[in-house]
Structure 1
Amino acid sequence: MDRETLNIKKWTVFYPVYINSKKTVAEGRRISLSNACENPTCVEINDCCSHLKLPSAIELDKAYPRDFMQRGRVRVLLKKEDGTLCNPAITSRKQLMLRVAELVPRHPGRVKKQEPAAASTAGPSKSSKGGKKKR
């Protein structure tokens, strides 16, 4: 494992834009809109890879060429040097993208952020809509 860890350049590259539902295929999304998740981050993708028992590393100094303002990408090891899969359940890059996109919305950091936001936006939006109708 030590030699593979050192040779990180051969690992699969995974940009957050690949699974971002806010992006179009022309902007770099690689999975269907129904499977994609909203604005994933490198940290969330890295955590999902760890959950799937796949070695991964974040590279914050890199950016996707079509969206160079969003910094960061994740390197993931799908196959070891001898050709065996790190996780037999994930055989391809596409499968990895689909599984990570499925896991990101359930990420602990994301769940905590969305609960207060949903509660605070639900109340004022209803009252402001109601107020406009009465006037």
Structure 2
Amino acid sequence: MEREIKKWNIIYPVYMNSKKTIAEGRRISASKACENPTCMEISDCCAHLKIPHAVEIDKAYPRDFMQVGRVRFQLKKADGSFWNPAISSKKALMLQIAELVPKHHERTKKQETTGSSSAAGAAGAGPSKSGKHGKKKK
């Protein structure tokens, strides 16, 4: 089983992160990408789409070793047919996952609990006048 997984395709969370630029590793358009996806969210989406997958939490993204974790997946069965006929490419899978991640149960739970506290924190922030200091007229 371990040898088989090594041949599977890889998705790094950065591929679908709307906060990253294409130069930083994003692979789909920012409008379709989601904000800071995690390996576990990607894994849950693969399970939802009935795609065989494996999470490798100890692996880092080569361009940025602080981005830890990746998901290996398999699009085709041994006979060449697709596991999910609606998903026929890696890009199609990334687009589907990016659409599902914002609806992930962990994210919807977090939004409900932090929704009321974030409004109170933003009330104290106002325009500051510090921009005019330091300039002298000649």
Q: Tell me, yes or no, whether TM beats 0.5.
A: yes
Letter of the structure 1 residue corresponding to residue 101 of structure 2: V
Distance 1:104 1:77 in 2: 19
TM-superposition CA deviations, 1:9-59 (whole Å, max 9, x none): 111101000000111000000000000000000000000000001111100
Aligned counterpart for 2:100 among listed residues 99, 103, 115: 103
TM-superposition CA deviations, 1:71-102 (whole Å, max 9, x none): 11001110112111000000000000000000
Unaligned runs of 5+ in 2: 129-138
TM-superposition CA deviations, 1:102-126 (whole Å, max 9, x none): 0000000111112222210112313
Whether 1:53 aligns to 2:47 is no
Q: For 2:68, what is the secondary structure of its paired residue?
A: strand
Q: Greater helix percent: which structure?
A: 1
Distance 1:97 1:129 in 2: 37
Q: Which residue of 1 aligns with 2:68?
A: 71
Q: Which residue of 2 aligns with 1:117?
A: 114
Aligned residue pairs total 127
* Larger gyration radius, structure 1 or structure 2: 2
Distance 2:59 2:125 in 1: 43
Distance 1:72 1:124 in 2: 32
Q: CA RMSD in A?
A: 1.6
Distance 1:90 1:122 in 2: 40
Q: What's the TM-score once normalised by structure 2's chain length? A: 0.86
Unaligned runs of 5+ in 1: none
Letter of the structure 1 residue corresponding to residue 44 of structure 2: D
